[in-house]
A and B are shown apart, each in its own frame.
Chain A
Amino acid sequence: MSWLSPEMADIVIQILKSLVIMLAVVVCGALLSWVERRLLGLWQDRYGPNRVGPFGAFQLGADMVKMFFKEDWNPPFVDKLIFTLAPVVAMSALLIAFVVIPVTPTWGVADLNIGLLFFFAMAGLAVYAVLFAGWSSNNKFALIGALRASAQTLSYEVFLGLSLMGIVAQVGSFNMRDIVDYQAQNVWFIIPQILGFATFFIAGVAVTHRHPFDQPEAEQEIADGYHIEYAGMKWGMFFVGEYIGIVMVSALLVTLFFGGWHGPFGLLPEVPFLWFALKTGFFIMLFILLRASLPRPRYDQVMAFGWKVCLPLTLINLLVTGALVLAAQ
């Protein structure tokens, strides 16, 4: 066992941890399909899927069997390469972004100094999934969906980044662990950065194309928009990709604004993972509750809201934070 030097062991353990985290995120994302349907059922005075296993918990298995065994169908009029690439991007972009999330003091994939920037880069990539799908499908509904997606992303990416600059200014680092530590020593950013939180949360919903920012798919208007031509496993990847996005953004919200793995008032520091999971779960539910309760604004109203309300708010937030940070020095 001479090759198992301490460094080597570290690497192996790190790889194993990464795999575990990736699997956990993917499984969480997939399981969310069942959780969402059950929760919607609860809020909508009906049951939701409750037939397969206890409380329908094995519904995911049934869905997977269905999707894996469906014919992998490419319509004859699509641009095959891009058509296939789109769901891959959809599922992987935000999944890869998860590497920067510190789950507990000892768990986490990569401790990047440019952690936040890496997330922005990946969130920016995610829109290509919708663009590729909408363009390559050669379908007008899909094209309109893609157009809406690009316009929406353009508007919301602007303040997605700016909304977090207040945090960066206060901490003085893009590193996620630094940000969490800073919150543990001072106060959770939800209090000083409340404006940043509000705008980032909105932008986060927009990044994942969740209701009410599901303009690119808007079932009632453009009949599922960009993924209208997809079926089987490719469609399933879009689907899971969306849920991974929810997990990712929820985890990010917890890390950036709610002290990451720390409990409130330093409670129970021996169970960091539990705190992380509880808080993330809360935001996931919030995403689903949003979907259950709100109508969808028209897409020019979404644009106007982004540029006229959210962007000024983030700028004010940044200015005030910057002034305070300078004053404190």
Chain B
Amino acid sequence: MTAEQALYIPPYKADDPDVVGELTARFGEQTLTLQGTRTGMPVVWVPREKLIEVLSFLRGLPRPYVMLYDLHGVDERLRTHRQGLPAADFSVFYHLMSLERNSDVMIKVALSEGQMNLPTASNIWPNANWYEREVWDMYGITFDGHPHLTRLLMPPTWEGHPLRKDYPARATEFDPYTLTAAKQDQEQEALRFEPSKWGMKQHKEHEDFMFLNLGPNHPSAHGAFRIVLQLDGEEIVDCVPEIGYHHRGAEKMAERQSWHSFIPYTDRIDYLGGVMNNLPYVLSVEKLAGITVPARVDVIRIMMAEFFRILNHLLYLGTYIQDVGAMTPVFFTFTDRQRAYKVVEAITGFRLHPAWYRIGGVAHDLPRGWDKLVKEFIDWMPKRLDEYEKAALQNSILKGRTQGVAAYNSKEALEWGITGAGLRATGVDFDLRKARPYSGYENFEFEVPLAANGDAYDRCMVKMGEMRQSLRIIEQCLKNMPEGPYKADHPLTTPPPKERTLQHIETLITHFLQVSWGPVMPANESFQMIEATKGINSYYLTSDGGTMSYRTRIRTPSFAHLQQIPAVIRGSMIPDLIAYLGSIDFVMADVDR
């Protein structure tokens, strides 16, 4: 390991004042506008002409902000609570992360409708590329100097920018859809593949390249994912991933659902993560509402989240081995998943999408006999994991297929916004459950599995280790489940506590309003990131003091992981790409939202 890989991660510093000091010292107080939020980080508005300077400064600081964690926009035109903020029709935010400081900073820039362009940040962080394309796609904000500013999630023929507030959120608000002959021709024409439009070369000096269209329907693409390969024989000269086939507009839906009724939509973001998806959302809403949950709620949430981590990793393990050509283990991991689902089903009543966490608690208390089921599972699982390791992962053919394949180092990983096992496989000890504990993870004993080579094999071994640690955490939950209520006693807990409603007309009215319209969250902004199944997943919520979110930004790990593919796979062969895709652990719903 190099010195850089053995990075020391200090304790988490929320609302880090240092960076504000450094920024003020460099740019002066009058250039910057500080916004007070509940996001847990300083939020600094900067003027557009200073933007690149500020971003480069933060990237170049000693103990730099190495990762562009997130970048997106907000339509500010209908926002009423924005006292003290620069006038803006739209804004774009840059969420930067520093591992050496273990703290974040958010830079915001205001835009007026007359001047909808910004300089690109893709020269500072390469992963700004897709984020900026998405911002253009969703808001129509252009980025000067961007290498390839085209639609990312919406089809190339799409009209309008869906996340703008004047764009309808429901199909019923549109005119009925018609497909004219002219439109059909136009759509057909848009499907025609031209390598140059994708930024690829057609031929080299003496021979033409072959272009292979892998997906959107391909057995190893793990969903509706398309990747166009530029091939020289079987060697991948270049490739362009294309996403958006699974886009459902979850962020737009969040703006038309109540705070409570959006919970089931979060389940479907990473559809293998189940309640793990609920967690960052409800934690974030609870920050807005100012709710502190009882200890029992924390422990129940952690236990269920870890169950889903195991469920996800088992599926990952099976499909990963299947992708390198061994057909059997996937059936065994599915048998194990069935055993985990037995517990999940008994506790939540559902399997894939329990939508079981609530604002201020969980949906119900644990059922009688839950401990016996959990015990059965944690007794069963470890010997199975040993078996997988021995029978499949130590197989020399499998090692030959994956060791040294699709390897990248810590520096590249951070540049591309890689989180989760993909980052830890390069030796960076960054697991949010340790680095920035949430929901009471600081009370548990577990280790963070690491590896050094950052190749396809190491990513899988890290995930294997994580399953063992998850079992340890579940065992501690089982042994130390606190007594107490499963819901916080707070006016914004949803559904609200009902004990007094039948005696008290005032409580009954509040209860009725809160159940029918939904809770009203105080106007503010909040943010929560968690170590989800595939990497860091976070919800950045903006409330304008209503029953619905003003803006919900869902940052998913898979999006960043897929953007990195061309940088890693150039020069490898098709089978390497398949092993690489298998080792990433992504689902397209998590990419496209």
Contacts A221-B220, A291-B327, A292-B327: A298 and B573 contacting too (C-beta < 8 A)? yes
Q: B399's closest neighbor in chain A, by CB?
A: A295
Q: B210 an interface residue at 8 Å Cβ cutoff?
A: yes
In the assembled complex, the Cα of A301 lies from the Cα of B576 at a distance in Å of 12
Does any Cβ of A come within 8 Å of B592's Cβ?
no
Task: Kindly list chain B residues whose C-beta atoms are within 8 Å of the C-beta of A293.
Answer: 326, 328
Residue ID in chain B nearest A222 by CB atoms: B574
Hey, which chain A residues are within 8 Å of B332, CB to CB?
44-45
Q: Is the CB of A298 within 8 A of B323?
A: no
Complex contact A220–B578 (CB within 8 A): yes
Please determine whether B219 and A219 come into contact, CB atoms closer than 8 angstroms: yes
Q: Tell me the complex Cα distance, A44–B578, Å.
A: 23
* CB proximity of A299 to chain B, nearest CB, Å: 7
| Interface size, chain B (Cβ < 8 Å) | 30
Give A34-66 interface residues, CB cut-off 8 Å to B: 40, 43-46
**Are B328 and A221 neighbours in the complex by a CB distance under 8 Å?**
no
Distance (Å) between the CB of B293 and the closest chain A CB?
40
**Once the chains bind, are A43 and B328 in contact (CB under 8 Å)?**
yes
Tell whether, in the assembled complex, residue B331 and residue A45 are in contact, meaning their CB atoms are under 8 Å apart. Answer: yes
Decide if A140 touches B398 in the complex (CB within 8 Å): no
Chain A residue, CB-CB nearest to B319? A220
Chain A residues whose CB sits within 8 angstroms of the CB of B327 once the complex forms? 40, 44, 211, 291-292
Is the pair B212, A141 in contact by a Cβ cutoff of 8 Å? yes
Say yes or no: A294 contacts B331, CB within 8 Å: no
Chain A hits for B212, CB < 8 A: 140-141, 144
CB distance from B314 to the nearest CB of A (A): 14
Chain B residues near A220: list those with CB within 8 A.
219-220, 322-325, 578
**Does A300 reach chain B (CB closer than 8 Å)?**
yes
Q: Does B203 contact A (CB under 8 A)?
A: no
CA distance A172 to B181 in the complex (A): 75
Q: Across the interface, do A223 and B218 meet the contact criterion of CB distance under 8 Å?
A: yes
Smallest Cβ-Cβ distance to B401: which chain A residue: A298
Which B residues between 398 and 429 are near A, CB-CB below 8 angstroms?
A: 398, 400-401
Q: Does B321 contact A (CB under 8 A)?
A: yes
A contact residues, total (Cβ < 8 Å): 28
B575 part of interface (Cβ distance < 8 Å): yes
B335 within 8 A of A: yes
Q: In the complex, what's the smallest C-beta–C-beta distance from A209 to chain B, in angstroms?
A: 13
B390–chain A nearest beta-carbon distance, Å? 13
Q: Which residues of A contact B210 (CB under 8 A)?
A: 140
How many whole Å from A302's CB to the nearest CB in chain B? Answer: 10
Interface presence of B397 (CB below 8 A): yes
Nearest Cβ in chain A — how far from B232, in angstroms?
12
Asked whether, in the complex, the Cβ of A296 is within 8 Å of the Cβ of B324, the reply is yes
Residues of chain A with a CB closer than 8 A to B323's CB: 220
Residue of A whose beta carbon sits closest to that of B577? A221
- Pair A294/B575 contact, Cβ less than 8 Å: no
Q: Give, as a whole number of angstroms, the nearest-CB distance from A292 to chain B.
A: 5
Residue among A45, A144, A295 making CB contact with B321, cutoff 8 Å: A295
Q: How far is the CA of A298 from the CA of B576 in the complex (A)?
A: 8
What are the interface flags for A280-299 relative to B under an 8 Å C-beta threshold, 1 for contact and 0 otherwise?
Answer: 00000000000111111111
- Docked Cα-Cα span, A221 to B335, in Å, equals 26
Query: Which A residues lie within 8 Å of B576 (CB)?
Result: 298
Query: In the complex the two chains form, is A44's CB within 8 Å of B325's CB?
Result: no
Within the assembled complex, what's the spacing in Å between the Cα atoms of A150 and B265?
50
Residues on B with beta carbons closer than 8 Å to the beta carbon of A43: 328
| A203 CB within 8 Å of chain B | no
Please, which residues of chain A bring their CB within 8 A of the CB of B234? 144, 147, 299
The closest CB in chain A to the CB of B331 belongs to A44
Residues 459-475 of chain B, each 1 if its beta carbon lies under 8 Å from chain A, else 0: 00000000000000000
- By the criterion CB–CB under 8 Å, are B219 and A297 in contact? no
A131 at the interface (CB under 8 A from B): no
**Could you tell me which residues of chain B, from 38 to 77, have a CB within 8 Å of some CB in chain A?**
none
Q: Taking the complex as formed, is A218 at the interface, i.e. its CB lies under 8 A from any CB of chain B?
A: yes
- In-complex Cβ contact of A297 among B218, B392, B400, B578 (8 A): B400
Check if A87 is an interface residue, CB within 8 A of chain B.
no
A interface footprint on B3-19 (CB within 8 Å = 1, 0 otherwise):
00000000000000000
Cβ of B503 under 8 Å from chain A: no
A212 at the interface (CB under 8 A from B): yes
Establish whether residues A295 and B575, one from each chain, have CB atoms under 8 Å apart when the complex forms.
no
A291 contacts across to B, CB distance below 8 A: 327
B326 and A294 form a contact (CB under 8 A) = yes
**B83 contacts across to A, CB distance below 8 A:** none
Of all chain A residues, which has the CB nearest B329?
A44
Q: How close is B266's CB to chain A, nearest CB, in angstroms?
A: 31
Q: Which residue of A lies closest to B405 (CB)?
A: A298
Identify which of A144, A223, A294 contacts B397 (C-beta below 8 A).
A294
CA–CA, A305 and B211, complex, Å: 29
Question: What is the bound-complex CA distance between A219 and B219, given in angstroms?
Answer: 7
| C-alpha spacing A154/B351, complex, angstroms | 51
Nearest chain A CB to B167 CB, angstrom units: 38
Lowest 5 A-B CB distances belong to which pairs? A296-B325, A295-B326, A44-B331, A295-B325, A298-B575
Jot down 21 A-B pairs with beta carbons below 8 A, ordered by A: A44-B331, A44-B332, A45-B331, A45-B335, A46-B331, A144-B574, A147-B234, A211-B325, A218-B325, A220-B322, A220-B324, A292-B328, A293-B326, A294-B325, A294-B397, A295-B395, A296-B325, A296-B397, A298-B401, A298-B576, A299-B234
Instruction: Write the residues of chain B forming the contact surface with A, with a CB cutoff of 8 angstroms.
Output: 210, 212-213, 218-220, 233-234, 321-328, 331-332, 335, 392, 395, 397-398, 400-401, 573-576, 578
